[in-house]
Amino acid sequence: MTENNNSVIWITGASSGIGKAVSKEFARTGSKVFASARRVTELERLNSELKKENLNIEVMPCNMASSANVDQTVKKILSTNYIDCLVNNAGITSFKKAENNSINEIDDIIHTNLLGSIYAIKNVLPGMIKKGSGTIINIMSVVTKKVFTNSSAYAASKLGLLAYTEVLREEVRKHNIRVINIIPGATFTPMWTSEVRKEKGERMMNPEDVAQVVVWAYLQRGTMVSEEIVLRPITGDLE
């Protein structure tokens, strides 16, 4: 992306995978990027990589599963900036059958993927409503379109977020707020085990390709919005 813009973007789950690629792609457009994740070391590594391109991001450590932590992070950003765009990307999974998922694992997945995204939305929404503009981009998953075994808790979190944001979209249209759901299939990220990446990596999408679509969707201007974009590997879903 080469289009220059002065937007302020907050990206969650930015330490690796799609979130990291999205952070880089937005930084290249001239956006001011606030990148959040639990792993501060990885965020600093991301910044070091960008400095080689004479770019940088603002590192904002945040555990999305904690509403208090999300509140504090957003207050820090809003103390000096208005958030033009929230990219809800933080997500975890377990790849286990429902009978084998522990309650703690389910709690972690739901709190991070679903509630964490809602916490973020609730924090940025008042400012967007006040300004009369804003964009909320949610990185979903093809589990919202197709049933995959060994992903019950993850599917519940993403389908819950899909329902929440579809209702939200209808409620905030009058405020000129865009709600965009990006629904990617298998992407080569650390969410998959190293064994799966080694065996099936050639059939997965690159996070950089997904990131370009995310930034493109944000940069759209005019009278339309791409409300839902489904992305799949050319060879189809992994089974």
Query: What average pLDDT does the structure give for the chain?
Result: 95
64 found inside a domain? yes
129 found inside a domain? yes
pLDDT beyond 50 at 1: no
Q: How confident is the model at residue 239 (pLDDT cuts 50, 70, 90)?
A: confident
Decide: 114 and 157 in contact? Cβ < 8 Å.
yes
pLDDT of 2: 47
239 found inside a domain? no
- 80 by Cβ neighbours in 10 Å (0-12 / 13-18 / 19+) ranks as exposed
The CA distances from residue 117 to 134, 136, 138, in Å, are 16, 10, 8
237 found inside a domain? no
Helix and strand numbers (H, E) in the chain are: 8, 7
Q: How confident is the model at residue 3 (pLDDT cuts 50, 70, 90)?
A: low
The CATH number of the domain holding residue 132 is 3.40.50.720
CB proximity list for 120: less than 8 A, separation 6 or greater: 10, 12, 64, 70, 74, 86, 88
pLDDT beyond 70 at 101: yes
Coil vs helix vs strand at 56 = coil
Number of domains comprising the chain: 1
- The residue range of the domain holding 226 is 8-231
- 76 by Cβ neighbours in 10 Å (0-12 / 13-18 / 19+) ranks as middle
pLDDT tens figures, 28-85: 999 999 999 999 999 999 999 999 999 999 999 999 999 999 999 999 999 999 999 9
Q: What is the DSSP letter of 205?
A: B
In the chain, which ranges are continuous DSSP H helix? 17-28, 40-51, 67-78, 103-109, 116-131, 152-172, 194-200, 207-219
pTM for the predicted model, two decimal places: 0.94
What span, in angstroms and rounded, lies between the C-alpha atoms of 41 and 211?
22
The CA distances from residue 123 to 73, 83, 119, 148, 153, in Å, are 10, 10, 6, 32, 25
33 found inside a domain? yes
| Range among 128-132, 193-197, 234-238 with highest mean pLDDT value | 128-132
pLDDT beyond 70 at 90: yes
Q: Report the share of the chain in percent with pLDDT over 70.
A: 98
pLDDT of 4: 60
pLDDT tens figures, 196-208: 889 989 999 999 9
Averaged pLDDT for residues 176-202: 91
175 found inside a domain? yes
What span, in angstroms and rounded, lies between the C-alpha atoms of 13 and 20?
8
Cα R_g (the chain), whole angstroms: 17
3 found inside a domain? no
Give the total residue count for the chain.
239
